[in-house]
Amino acid sequence: MVYLVGAGPGDIELFTLKAINILKKADVILYDALVNPEFTIFCKKDSIKINVGKRKGKHLKNQEEINDLLVKYAKEKEIVVRLKGGTPFVFGRGYEEVKALKKIGITPVVISGVSSTTSVPESFMIPSIDRSFSDSYRTITGHDLTIFNEIVTSYHERENLIIMMGAYKAKEIVQSLLKKGFPKTTPIAYLSKGTTLEQQCIILTLEDVYNKNEEFFLQLRELTPIITFVGKTINALKY
């Protein structure tokens, strides 16, 4: 049996009971770079643990290699876990792994995790939805500006943007939002390492970021993983 398991946003106490119970039985665990390394406290001592993490500019394994490892161990071991940051199907390429396993006749079990898209803002007391400020939110990748610009086409006053993997395109994202009619005073928050002891929050306006020098953006990249939150709901922190 193969399990795709969400490890949550970082805090080890945000692992689900279901995830912990499967890790206790697993013979092999293929885990991501952003998974809290303390997960090993839940594992059998003799289990095989393989870091297959992918970070900007440093991929221990590419996706094809990860798929191949899953297929290999699925044929050799009784219980295999693919441990993914957040939850498997949100920016996790989880379904690519499902398809690779289905090709050999194995349909994995998916165990959802706590998604960082909402739990990280919550860890800084920023609500994704608050009736005083917003009615909706959109979650979008920030590493591909072409996709970003196709999806975010205009400003909606009562909608928040939750931008994943946008630290390396932070300057271009803000320039794009201003061109699309976002007010200069729109709050923007950079949420670093949310739910962990190292978490940091930087709150500015789009105009503030637009006027920053290159040193700011270099420092921002050092704080990854970062979630970028754009919207008036950040103002809820004032109350």
| Catalytic residue IDs | 32, 54, 165
Cβ(64)–Cβ(42) under 8 Å? no
Cβ(164)–Cβ(229) under 8 Å? no
d(CA 221, CA 230): 18
Q: Which residues does 138 contact at the CB level (< 8 Å), separation at least 6?
A: 151, 152, 159, 160, 161, 162
Q: Residue count of the chain, please give it.
A: 239
Cβ(94)–Cβ(4) under 8 Å? yes
Q: How far, in Å, are 29, 97, 172 from residue 93 at the CA level?
A: 17, 7, 25
The 3-state DSSP class for residue 35 equals coil
